[in-house]
Amino acid sequence: GAGTPLVVFYGGNAMNVGCFANIAAADPTRSYLLMNYRGYGGSEGEPSESQIVSDANCCITYARAKMGTPGPLALVGYSLGSGVAVQVAATKSASALVLICPFDSMTEVACNQVPFLPRILPMDDWNSTEYAPMVKCPVTVMRAQTDDIVPSESTDKLIQSFTTPPAVKIYPADHNSIFFCPDFTTDIMKALPLNQATDVEEV
């Protein structure tokens, strides 16, 4: 709807972001954009860091053009998507940034999981700590207490790299089960900008 907040979801590795559709469907007060990367979901092509970030910016431009009157922009990224969301927030005027199970850089996570992997296998770095200081909007970090994919020190380093300390919420879950925690969806909604439009059109 014109003037409503635009909430953009970026999913994790090998994830079809359509699984967030239930959150969008339950909220008639905001507009939602669920972006599948190249080669993810129904999207064609091969993903890379530069192409994904470029696509993310293009998708926001497209969505805002469809909406007509742009409202506040909120970015939500899970795991790999946290890297996308941080880079977009660093260059766009966002009102909120929500990071679920985020990391400092993909290289550091890979080193922790499989030592020396980055030295023998070319990979995108996704260094979120490089872009975090450029983020000006409020940041919420939602982390899993027993994350079995992203080491806790990796998330700690990212949190410390923001100029303004993020709000941090910890859930009794692992990397993939965090979505099923009772307050998870409610906490996302609380972190998003409210609709200020006087005439809300359901999307």
Sequence-separated (6 or more) residues with CB below 8 Å from residue 22: none
- Residue 20, Cβ density class (10 Å: 0-12 exposed, 13-18 middle, ≥19 buried): buried
Question: For residues 23 and 130, what is the distance between their CA atoms, to the nearest angstrom?
Answer: 30
CA distances from 20 to 32, 34, 78, 133, 179 (A): 10, 7, 11, 28, 10
What is the model's pLDDT at position 114?
A: 52
Look up residue 65 and give its two tokens: 């053009």
Q: Which residue has the higher pLDDT, 112 or 188?
A: 188
Average the pLDDT over 147-153 and give the result: 93
Average the pLDDT over 28-48 and give the result: 90
Question: For residues 44 and 16, what is the distance between their CA atoms, to the nearest angstrom?
Answer: 13
Q: Would the pLDDT of 119 be above 50?
A: no
What is the model's pLDDT at position 135?
A: 97
Q: Would the pLDDT of 203 be above 80?
A: no
Sequence-separated (6 or more) residues with CB below 8 Å from residue 108: 154, 157
Smallest CA-to-CA distance from 15 within 33, 36, 34 is with 36
What is the model's pLDDT at position 195?
A: 80
Q: Would the pLDDT of 156 be above 90?
A: yes
Average the pLDDT over 65-92 and give the result: 94
Per-residue buried b or exposed e for 58-85, using 16+ beta carbons within 10 Å of the residue's own CB: ebbeebbeebeebbbbbbbbbbbbbbbb
Question: For residues 5 and 167, what is the distance between their CA atoms, to the nearest angstrom?
Answer: 20
Please give the mean pLDDT across all residues of the chain: 89
Number of neighbouring beta carbons within 10 Å of residue 116: 9
Look up residue 74 and give its two tokens: 């909120």
- pLDDT band (50, 70, 90) for residue 198: very low
Average the pLDDT over 8-26 and give the result: 90
pTM of the model: 0.90
